[in-house]
Chain A
């Protein structure tokens, strides 16, 4: 049910808009090998499509588009299929690792950390590589001709290195190159794709400047890499049911017109034109990101606040967040950050937290993380129904946040007594993040209270597998075993006491455990 809410109704204006934006994205991709995501994902989000569905639907249109473009440009002899696939496969690994890094940064540093990371990627990749490409294009403009492109010095060196057992011949390079060079390049392409949605801004320059492929062939071969990455991405997102096939196919309708035209265009231009267009687009995208991100240092205050927050300087953090809300009252991130601060404050400022989260949501109604915070704040205030409603709203905009499912599992059982709903929510949380031990603990406790001891034991054991020093799970496991297998319970209590007696925080619980152990032993003797 929550999935259906992810898909918005479409009217004729939306469809026309998507067709036009799709055409522009296709035109760019056909010409320089990638770059459509920059216009497409924000366009969908501006129509009210949740961010993750926009990303998923964009990827689902990307691989068939790249396929058509690659076949078209292969007819012009511009594609090196082998190089594209080799890079594509290592890019797939880069995408997975890049997504993992993103999640890790978000978990540790929140939205501010993620924004900073993405902005740094923009500045470093687009700024440095984009300007270099432009500079190189201008430099070669006068000398450029249709026949030969000079192979860069770095590429000549890469081609001269011979590492036995790793050499592969690539026709676009007309040389043998070690895969030890192609693997990290593909990996970096994938990581960038996972960070700013366009891997080609590394892939194409890497093929040209590092491996030595001609610019035209590099941009055409990137389409093969994009196909491999796009297919993998589509499988991943549609496995979670996040692809809106209507959006993807409508964009595809426009982009296939564009990609054909872009591909035809490459046969008319001198090779350095590819560099001019690519470098210009990279620099323009960077500038628009900079202006969009920070017209008046609002983000600077916000980021400084986040740094203070991570250092534990709560009040300095709050001051910076407030400064950014005063500079730009339409920027939702600092309101959400203030909400987080109030929620975590020792003085239990839950009302202020609710107010801050509400303000963030008012500014950006699809702000999933703010809805999560609102749910937490309402739960802390004891507003059970309000908390549930907020969590459900958070799931509409990001259905794959395991912690929200876990919070729902907890609240359903503890506050509403809804056994079935609670188990379903906990299971979904575990499915999304098998390492989320708190969800397993919650599920184990629900099972235990319902007398499903076998299931409870299974969950506690999984927690201990994931964290061998989880004293809570060991304690609960021993308690459950008392009901089904007293001998095993004795063994579990002994294990718990051995570990927990070294911890000051467990002192009282160890005393209780010793009493249980004594009783059990005397019962077995009798």
Chain B
């Protein structure tokens, strides 16, 4: 989910850009539909699934992006 396993220099960059764009799109949607999303996720009861799902989706997309982000900057884990 976070680290690149590829050896090519181009591939992590492409992935970072793709996941970065999707992440920006997700946050833009959150901004655009702020009121309705907030109303839907705070209804309580079984609607608790909504915030939990949103959190999982954002963590997958944005988590992958941030992993690649530091990678591209050359900040990598020591072997």
Identify the A interface with B (CB < 8 A).
3-4, 6-7, 60-61, 63-65, 67-68, 71-72, 75-76, 231, 234-235, 238-246, 248-249, 252-253, 256-257, 259-261, 263-264, 267-268
Given contacts A235-B52, A260-B66, A267-B77, contact A249 B47 (CB under 8 A): no
Given contacts A64-B56, A234-B51, A252-B59, contact A264 B38 (CB under 8 A): no
In the assembled complex, which residues on chain A have CB atoms less than 8 Å from the CB atom of B41?
238, 243, 245
Query: Does more than half of chain B's interface fall in helix, strand or loop, or is it mixed?
Result: helix
- A239 and B48 contacting across the interface, CB-CB below 8 Å: yes
Give 26 CB contacts A-B under 8 Å.
A60-B55, A64-B63, A65-B59, A67-B59, A68-B2, A71-B1, A234-B55, A235-B48, A235-B52, A238-B41, A238-B44, A239-B44, A239-B45, A242-B42, A243-B51, A245-B42, A245-B55, A246-B30, A246-B37, A248-B51, A248-B55, A249-B54, A252-B55, A257-B66, A260-B63, A267-B77
B76 within 8 A of A: yes
- A71 and B2 contacting across the interface, CB-CB below 8 Å: yes
- B27 and A260 contacting across the interface, CB-CB below 8 Å: no
- B2 and A75 contacting across the interface, CB-CB below 8 Å: yes
In the assembled complex, which residues on chain A have CB atoms less than 8 Å from the CB atom of B76?
264
B39 within 8 A of A: yes
Query: Closest chain A residue to B27 by CB distance?
Result: A253
B51, B67, B76 — most chain A CB neighbours (10 Å): B51
- A264 and B44 contacting across the interface, CB-CB below 8 Å: no
In Å, the complex CA distance between A384 and B66 comes to 55
The residue from A76, A235, A244, A256 contacting B77, defined by CB atoms under 8 A apart = A76
In the assembled complex, which residues on chain B have CB atoms less than 8 Å from the CB atom of A67?
56, 59, 63
16 further A-B pairs in the complex, CB-CB below 8 A; given A68-B66, A260-B2, A261-B75: A64-B55, A64-B58, A67-B63, A75-B3, A234-B48, A234-B55, A238-B44, A241-B42, A245-B38, A246-B30, A246-B34, A246-B37, A256-B63, A257-B69, A260-B63, A264-B75
In the assembled complex, which residues on chain A have CB atoms less than 8 Å from the CB atom of B69?
257, 260
B41, B54, B59, B75 — most chain A CB neighbours (10 Å): B59
In Å, the complex CA distance between A453 and B63 comes to 58
In the assembled complex, which residues on chain A have CB atoms less than 8 Å from the CB atom of B2?
68, 71-72, 75, 260
In the assembled complex, which residues on chain B have CB atoms less than 8 Å from the CB atom of A3?
42, 44
Query: Closest chain B residue to A10 by CB distance?
Result: B34
Given contacts A64-B55, A68-B2, A260-B70, contact A253 B77 (CB under 8 A): no
- A238 and B51 contacting across the interface, CB-CB below 8 Å: yes
Query: Closest chain B residue to A263 by CB distance?
Result: B77
- A245 and B54 contacting across the interface, CB-CB below 8 Å: yes
Min Cβ gap A229→B in Å is: 14
- B38 and A267 contacting across the interface, CB-CB below 8 Å: no
A61, A260, A264 — most chain B CB neighbours (10 Å): A260
In the assembled complex, which residues on chain A have CB atoms less than 8 Å from the CB atom of B58?
64, 249, 252-253
